[in-house]
């Protein structure tokens, strides 16, 4: 099997399972309990929080464990917008993950926020000056993703942070796809809050993180016992937090070497597909993209049909965001980039793993050529 759907999920690392195992078995205590088992669980949770904070270059008290990236985005956007709003206006971009767009829509429908959606260029990159021009005196939040989950386009987060900071507006960043490939130094980036998901970096599904700069008022979206310093109630997933910390630490340790190697492999794959597969067009920028991302449209060939045929060749990839799989609608990301609905429906996303080889990708390119010759169509 050739697995090229890392953007959807990564396999759980063995080291992560080993780190989690004690807290799934003998060390099963509730970290809120005052007896020995509870104290042991609380210690493990605190150590995990400190480990994550070290990677993010933030204080451990700024790290909130969530159920995943979707909840982290919901808490970051709704929590900041409702925590201490200076107005009821939010600026976001047209290529955000549904977790961000749906959170903004919720605030518009139930809390009378006005949402300004900024477009992107043909490569899927937002213009910093355009965002700056949309910030108003009543803007309470700007939300922008670090790297797009469908086309891999990296956004100018540091420049956006400089603009928002100058205007005194918090910046929430969905960094789910960036983890393991780009720096997550929140201080260097200048972000107010940052969302991550464990299963993108080798932790299990069901654990995520929202890092929120100290001093920022945050209205909880889940109410109850006041865990996570009152910002996210519910008994903490200790094993998940331990696994997340282990996975993130490993990903950060390997990040530079993995990024350099896989970007070279990716570039050779892109060159081969563009030169040999009829109708193939790269989506997203050629340079400023995630090291493991290669996405294409294929003219009059259905992306879903290609996926089915590629799986018959034991090649697993996707047509875009995993959470949108099975829908008939074209990608909102590609539409925002100016692609027609018909072209958007031909998209296929290849997201490489850190161990993907040239030989594997050569087999993928050959399969694509064969499928085009066989006239796989709508």
Active-site annotation holder among 323, 338, 358, 373: 323
Active site residue 323: yes
Whether 211 contacts 62, CB under 8 Å: yes
Q: Please, where are the H alpha helices in 230-327?
A: 238-276, 303-312
- Strands (E) in the chain, as ranges, are 2-3, 63-66, 89-93, 114-118, 139-145, 171-174, 193-197, 208-212, 280-282, 293-298, 315-316, 348-351
Quote the pLDDT of residue 347.
Answer: 96
Place of tokens 């027609």: 340
**Predicted confidence (pLDDT) at residue 350 exceeds the cutoff of 60:** yes
Which tens digits make up the pLDDT trace of 6-25?
A: 999 999 999 999 999 999 99
Whether 268 contacts 130, CB under 8 Å: no
What is the C-alpha radius of gyration for the chain, rounded to an integer number of angstroms? 21
* Mean pLDDT calculated for residue range 156-182: 98
Higher pLDDT, 329 or 89: 89
Place of tokens 């949309």: 134
CATH of domain 2-6+255-373: 3.90.1150.10
Higher pLDDT, 176 or 374: 176
**Helix (H/G/I), strand (E/B), else coil: 282:** strand
Average of per-residue pLDDT values in the chain: 95
**Predicted confidence (pLDDT) at residue 40 exceeds the cutoff of 80:** yes
Whether 63 contacts 209, CB under 8 Å: yes
**Predicted confidence (pLDDT) at residue 363 exceeds the cutoff of 90:** yes
Quote the pLDDT of residue 281.
Answer: 97
**Predicted confidence (pLDDT) at residue 324 exceeds the cutoff of 70:** no
H helix or E strand, kind and range, residue 56: helix 36-56
Whether 212 contacts 236, CB under 8 Å: no
Strand 280-282 relative to strand 293-298, pairing: antiparallel
Domains in the chain: boundaries: 2-6+255-373, 14-251
Residue 334 sits at the vertex; the CA angle it makes with 283 and 275, to the nearest 5 degrees, is 25
**Predicted confidence (pLDDT) at residue 322 exceeds the cutoff of 70:** no
CATH number (3.30.2420.10, 3.40.710.10, 3.40.640.10, 3.40.1010.20) of 14-251 reads 3.40.640.10
Query: What are 298's strand-pairing partners?
Result: 280
**Predicted confidence (pLDDT) at residue 320 exceeds the cutoff of 70:** no
DSSP 8-state class, residue 61: G
Quote the pLDDT of residue 329.
Answer: 85
Whether 141 contacts 116, CB under 8 Å: no
Which tens digits make up the pLDDT trace of 184-239?
A: 999 999 999 999 999 999 999 999 999 999 999 999 999 999 999 999 999 999 99
Quote the pLDDT of residue 378.
Answer: 43
* Mean pLDDT calculated for residue range 346-372: 95
Return the percentage of the chain with pLDDT > 90, whole number.
92
Short-list 265, 202, 244, 215, CA closest to 80:
215
Which tens digits make up the pLDDT trace of 124-134?
A: 999 999 999 99
What is the band of 377 on the pLDDT scale with cuts at 50, 70, 90?
Answer: very low
Residue 301 sits at the vertex; the CA angle it makes with 299 and 305, to the nearest 5 degrees, is 150
DSSP 8-state class, residue 13: P
Quote the pLDDT of residue 295.
Answer: 97
Give the global pTM: 0.95
How far apart are the C-alpha atoms of 5 and 8, rounded to whole Å?
Answer: 5
Quote the pLDDT of residue 302.
Answer: 86
């Amino acid at each position: 099997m050739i697995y090229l759907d890392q953007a959807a999920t990564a396999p759980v690392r063995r080291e992560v399972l080993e780190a989690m195992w004690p807290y799934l078995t003998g060390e099963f205590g509730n970290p809120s309990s005052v007896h020995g088992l509870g104290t042991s669980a609380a210690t493990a949770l605190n150590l995990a929080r400190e480990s994550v904070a070290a990677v993010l270059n933030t204080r451990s008290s700024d790290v909130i464990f969530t159920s995943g990236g979707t909840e982290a985005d919901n808490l970051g956007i709704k929590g900041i917008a409702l925590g201490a709003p200076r107005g009821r206006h939010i600026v976001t971009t047209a290529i955000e993950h549904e977790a961000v767009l749906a959170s903004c829509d919720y605030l518009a429908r139930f809390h009378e926020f006005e949402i300004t959606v900024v477009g992107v260029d043909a490569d899927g990159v937002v213009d910093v000056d355009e965002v700056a021009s949309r910030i108003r005196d009543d803007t309470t939040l700007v939300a922008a993703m670090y790297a797009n989950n469908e086309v891999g386009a990296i956004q100018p987060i540091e420049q956006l942070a400089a603009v928002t900071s100058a205007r005194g507006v918090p910046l929430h960043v969905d960094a789910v796809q960036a983890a393991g490939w780009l720096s997550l130094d929140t201080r260097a980036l200048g972000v107010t809050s940052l969302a991550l998901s464990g299963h993108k970096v080798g932790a299990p599904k069901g654990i995520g993180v929202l890092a929120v700069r100290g001093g920022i008022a945050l209205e909880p979206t889940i109410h109850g016992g006041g865990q996570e310093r009152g910002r996210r109630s519910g008994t903490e997933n200790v094993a998940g937090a331990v696994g997340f910390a282990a996975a993130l630490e490993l990903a950060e340790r390997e990040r530079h070497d993995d990024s350099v190697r896989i970007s070279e492999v990716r570039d050779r794959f892109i060159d081969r597909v563009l030169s040999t597969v009829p109708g193939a067009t790269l989506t997203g920028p050629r340079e400023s993209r995630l090291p493991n991302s290669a996405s294409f449209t294929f003219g009059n060939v259905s992306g879903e049909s290609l996926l089915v045929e590629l799986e018959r060749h034991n090649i697993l990839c996707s047509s875009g965001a995993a959470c949108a799989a099975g829908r008939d609608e074209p990608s909102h990301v590609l539409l925002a980039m100016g692609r027609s609905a018909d072209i958007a429906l031909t998209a296929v996303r290849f997201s490489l793993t850190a161990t993907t080889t040239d030989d594997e990708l050569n087999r993928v390119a050959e399969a694509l050529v064969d499928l085009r010759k066989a006239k796989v169509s709508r």
